[in-house]
Amino acid sequence: MKLPLTFSNLSQSSLLRSVATYGFFTLFNKVLPFLLLPVMTRYLTPNDYGLVSLFGVATSCACIFTGCNMDKAYFKIYYEPNKYKHQDYLGTAFLWVLASSSFLFFAISLLKDTFPVFESIPTVWISFIPWIAMMNVVMLLVQTAWQLRNKAFTYGFFQFGRTTTELFIALLLIVCLDLGWRGRISAQIAAGTFFSIIGLRLLHKKEYISFTLNKQYLRHGLRYGVPLIPHYLAGLLTVSIDKLFIGGMIGVLDVGIYAVGDQLASMINLLVTSFDQAYHPWLFRKLSIGSQESKNIIVKATYIYFAAISITTLLFSLLLPIALIRFIGVRFHGAFEYVFWISLGYAFLGMYYMVAKYLFFTEKTHLLSTITLSSIPLNIVLNYIFIKWNGALGATQATALTHFLVFFITWYAAAKAHSMPWITFFKKTERIFDTKQ
């Protein structure tokens, strides 16, 4: 009797209401590029897709060094209003992003020939990587400000507006002007710049940000965020090494087909990301309470999520090729072969998000870096072996296995760092059923 009642309470909670709001807008945000696949897979070649995908890897890497995870530090201090002034902290983070992106521009200009990922990207476009990275980090800071204040609608509408604008410009440049992959990247630059400026103006108008530099806040932000750089860099490599290996061992064309498979499987990533956006503040509020009841609720929600995402991933992988075989250009039909393993990797990634939060809460972020950094050599070895065995499909299998191992090890570390009733929860459930019998 108690279990259904608790589940009913959970379903009516602010967590699932936030998940529904984030999910609704994130769904639109993902569905739009998904719906444009028939156009993109006919106007862009697999080689074009490959170049855009490799450019995305380089940009994501630049974001890590540009932002130094200041958004994560801002998220943490938001729940300590007596120690930090939110407006000054966010403004300090923004000024840091401006300075670090300028430094990164000169660093990439000097060192671009030493990075393999730049080999396939024309030199003139490499100079735009720090700018796009800066805009992406600014957008992340803006959206974090909305997320912390439980303004899920504003967060989602802002995200949706950027995606809509970016895709409209991309269609114009690719279909009408026949700019190919250059049109796709130009659209990112234009939309990112416009919405970053709008976002900052809105935050300033709401008095959520003050453009002042506080050296104490900067030191705290860097002390919190810099140790996370290896963690997020390792995480990026974990989800990108497969593309880099396919490009190096097979070819850019195969990277393009693989990228379409990744885009199809990204619907699972949509689900785990939507849940994580709402779950993060909800979890921190529950953990701050610290009661046994709140811990039981958290663990129950976690196990329900694990079961739900596993079942959803299996059904999605079985039904997607049947439903969308005519949706994708013929040149990209090979992408369906990758959907199951990429989706499974995203499911394990979502499970990892759930348990990694405890290390953020306890400020033991160095453990995350240790775990994810340790996974890189394993991922490299697995990719090399599996690609030799199964071609590009082997890369998806290696990545899924790596995600599972990182999730499981992180869960163990989180259980050590913050005591939760992971096992006693099941014993309590057994006692309830025994009592019923």
H-type helices in 36-151, by residue range? 37-43, 46-67, 70-77, 86-111, 123-126, 129-148
d(CA 180, CA 42): 11
Query: Could you read off the pLDDT of 208-265 as tens digits, one per residue?
Result: 999 989 999 999 999 988 888 877 887 687 667 788 788 777 877 788 888 888 888 8
More confident position, 129 or 245: 129
pLDDT in tens, 78-118: 877 778 898 999 999 999 999 999 998 888 877 766 666 56
> Percent of the chain having pLDDT more than 70?
88
- The closest alpha carbon to 326, from 122, 7, 37, 6, belongs to 37
- Give the range among 51-55, 246-250, 253-257, 414-418 with minimum mean pLDDT: 246-250
**Residue 420, Cβ neighbours under 10 Å: how many?**
18
Compute the average pLDDT of residues 29-40: 75
DSSP letter assigned to residue 210: -
Q: Tens digit of pLDDT for each residue in 280-291? A: 888 888 888 878
Distance CA 20, CA 110 (A): 46
CA distance 198 to 189: 14
Higher per-residue pLDDT: 251 or 336: 336
Q: Residue 432 burial by CB count (10 A; 0-12/13-18/19+): exposed, middle or buried?
A: exposed
Q: Which of 397, 69, 60, 416 is nearest to 240 (CA)?
A: 60
Say how far apart CA 5 and CA 427 lie, in whole Å: 18
Higher pLDDT, 60 or 235: 60
Residue 118: per-residue pLDDT:
62
Structure-block tokens of residue 293: 């009841």
Residue among 135, 137, 130, 133 nearest 112 (CA): 130
Q: How far apart are CA 386 and CA 194, in angstroms?
A: 42
